[in-house]
A and B are shown apart, each in its own frame.
Chain A
Amino acid sequence: MTSIDVREADGGVVLAPSGRLTVVTAPTLRATVAERIAAGDRLIIVDLSVTEFVDSSGLGALVSCLKSARQSGGDLRLVAPTEQVAMVLRMTNLDRILQPRPSVDDALRG
């Protein structure tokens, strides 16, 4: 089961999906990001250091959330993917548009 830890940061909000981000749990991430954008957050940081596994639905959710963030004048940045997540980002070329940052601080800086 995936839960998404949400914490405020200086200049953005940090979402940390723990466990697996798959077709089962991707809708929760989409909904959480939509809520935060509706609430006025512009910089969405997805901390993947506690995400053990991502599938194509999880990737689709990240692309969708990136678009939503940019359409609202903001951005979405990934942080510290685990080994499996980094591999899947590379295989799909998504590391080009969702280039992961090493830390939340790096993501907040831009």
Chain B
Amino acid sequence: MSERARRVVEVPATIESIDVVQAEFDAWWSALDEAKIETRFALEIAVVEIAANIVEHTHRAEGQAGRRYQLELSADDDVLTAVFTDNGMPADIDLSTVTMADVDDESGRGLALAIAALDSLDYRRANGRNVWTLVCRR
């Protein structure tokens, strides 16, 4: 794995952080030798949805400023991986129960989109942190 294929960013858990995350994703992607635009679309929508979920969860559960989260993007010959880590409250989520919202609903599509776009999405609690692992095959 080349060093250029790994990128780490840490940002405050604010709505505006999504723009930073996407800019970092764009820079990371530009350095990859990956031709399939569909793969980019799939991983990017999942990254944005999980980042937004972390921000929303942080505000709903804690309602305080100062929380941060980290995103690590990496690639090898077979898979692209994005790992989010934050030290917020445990996320009360069962990914096996997530379904796509009805077309009339104004919310409730984020996690379903991420799951549909990825080859795997995993959430676990480890060492007092929330860890989200997003994987797309190349």
- Residue ranges of A at the interface with B (Cβ–Cβ < 8 Å): 1, 20, 22-24, 53, 55-57, 59-61, 63-64, 67, 83-84, 87-88, 91-94, 96-97
Contact = CB atoms under 8 A, between A and B. Distances in A.
A5 to B, nearest CB: 20
Interface in B103-125: 103-110, 112-113, 116-117
Interface string B90-101: 000000000011
B15 A91 contact: no
B35 to A, nearest CB: 14
Nearest to A96: B103
A90 B48 CA distance: 18
A60 B109 contact: yes
Given A56-B110, A63-B105, A83-B41, A20 B22 contact: yes
Contacts of B41: 83-84, 87-88
Nearest to B48: A55
Contacts of A93: 100, 103
Given A55-B48, A83-B37, A23 B18 contact: yes
Contact of A59 (B16, B18, B44, B109): B109
Contacts of B101: 92
B113 A60 contact: no
23 contacts: A20-B22, A22-B18, A22-B22, A24-B16, A24-B18, A24-B19, A53-B44, A55-B52, A56-B49, A57-B110, A60-B107, A63-B103, A63-B105, A64-B106, A83-B41, A84-B41, A84-B44, A87-B41, A92-B112, A93-B103, A96-B103, A97-B103, A97-B104
A94 B52 contact: no
B113 A91 contact: yes
Nearest to B110: A56
B52 A88 contact: no
Which of A1, A20, A63 has the most CB atoms of chain B within a 10 A radius of its CB? A63
B45 interface: yes
Contacts of B37: 83
Contacts of A24: 15-16, 18-19
